[in-house]
A and B are shown apart, each in its own frame.
Chain A
Amino acid sequence: MPDLVTHAFAAYLIIRWWQNPAHRAVFYLGTFLPDLLSRPIYILFPQLNLYTVALHTPITALIACLLLAEFFAAERGKIRWLLCGGAALHYFLDLMQRHLDNGYFWGFPLTWKSGELGWFWPETPLRLIWLWLLGMAMIEVIIALRRRQGRVRREPAPQQGDSSPADRG
């Protein structure tokens, strides 16, 4: 897997334009879900590694997304799609990686064949984190400036004879 900052940046580029911030948070959670499900066990208890192999496959991510969506009080249909969309994005990035031997098992449980595009090692995107963070910061500044401009344009121009708040004081 690439690091989660890289995953977050990819998710950010897609979901930042979505209006509802709560939905955005759900999409981020979906993006992180495949790793949240398997990596803590893999890292903390390596002897349980073989139990986590299946937990980082598309089918278990789909089941985990459907399961997690059941715990939402409202909009479960939309939540399912957001979680699944986030998880799909996660696997899209994982597909680009390379491993020395077996990669991820995309067709589990039907097949144990693995495959990947092999464009970069899992640790390679770490070198670009600063670029992702800078990109996010720049987009946020542009959005804030455009919002401010829009607010200024929407505010009616003061009419002649109107007194300013300072005058009224």
Chain B
Amino acid sequence: MSTQRLLRIAVLLLALVGLSVYGKMTFPYVTLQDCLRDPQRFDSTKVAVATETVVHGFIDGGFTIQQMGRIVPVIGDTTGIQVGEFIHLTAIFRQPGVLELQKAYVAKYRRLKIAVSLFSAVAVLVLFFSRFALRRGQFVQRRRHA
């Protein structure tokens, strides 16, 4: 690889990492984890909860969710809610750590979606490497013999 190409790779890689870090630093929305870290500050704040959140169980007047190892009670309608299912919700956070449900969406087939997506990703990678070989850090088109 030429020096110019290596330089391009370094700049693009840096841009990718830079944007990822910039995204984390400037993300403007309050997350559930922010609320749990500082409940007093985020009392009565509206939060959207989606990141890998699973219904953990039922309680009086609501249910509990588990996100990143933490279990949080949610007060609200339990229609359509099932334990173990992935869930997205918008809610009002109340200290010390309770959510008042506004809207919920149960992502019922998320596990199946992940499974078929994983299968497709593997299939595309197999297809790609059946057409290209990695030689000295570069993808070289494989020659096909009739």
Contact = CB atoms under 8 A, between A and B. Distances in A.
Contact of B117 (A4, A28, A29): A4
Interface stretch (A69-77, A87-95, A145-153, A157-165): A69-77
A70 B9 contact: yes
A121 to B, nearest CB: 7
Interface string A30-47: 001001100100110011
Nearest to B124: A28
A139 interface: no
A63 B16 contact: yes
Interface residues of B, number: 58
B50 A50 contact: no
A8 B120 contact: yes
Contacts of B121: 4, 32, 35-36
Contacts of A126: 109, 112-113, 116
B112 A100 contact: no
Contact of B109 (A36, A57, A99, A123): A123
Interface residues of A, number: 50
A51 B52 contact: no
Among A3, A60, A108, residue most surrounded by chain B Cβ atoms (within 10 Å): A3
A100 B23 contact: no
Interface in A72-114: 72-74, 99-102, 108-109, 112
Interface in B105-127: 105, 107-110, 112-114, 116-117, 119-121, 123-125, 127
